Amino acid sequence: MKMLLAVALGGAFGATGRYLFAAQALRLMGPGFPWGTLGVNVIGSFFMGVLVEGLALRFQLSPEMRVFLVTGVLGGFTTFSAFSLDVSLMIEKKELALAALYAFGSLGGAVLALFFGLWIARAVLS
């Protein structure tokens, strides 16, 4: 139960940060390009790298604090950071074909799934 609470609390912080960042990006840059989404994806991936490596090399945190920060805060901020970590770990293990399959499969599959969802919703609801 403590793990679930840690994830939920961290997720609230991360999602709030994503909302505030995206709102500020929209205000500053306008609606012509998804700068907010791009920003949280890149920033979240950067912090995922710093946090995971920092935890591996220097800092010992409780399992609850780890899931609070990694799954909760960063997962709430952007799940793209988890995707980036998965791809980078495959590349570091020299699993280049698997990393490419996962990266292109995730990106292409997600975009295709979104369009399929749009198509289904339009067909059913219009």
Which amino acid makes up residue 74? L
pLDDT at 85: 85
Give the CA distances from residue 106 to residues 5, 40, 91, 113, 114, in Å, rounded to whole numbers and listed in that order. Answer: 29, 18, 16, 10, 12
Inter-residue contact 8 to 75 (CB < 8 Å) = no
Instruction: Supply the pTM of this predicted model.
Output: 0.77
What is the percent of the chain where pLDDT is above 90?
A: 71
Q: What is the pLDDT of residues 94-106, one digit of tens each?
A: 999 999 999 999 9
In the numeric block, which tokens belong to residue 15? 């999602």
Please give the average per-residue pLDDT across 66-71, as a whole number: 94
Helix (H, G, I), strand (E, B) or coil at 92: helix
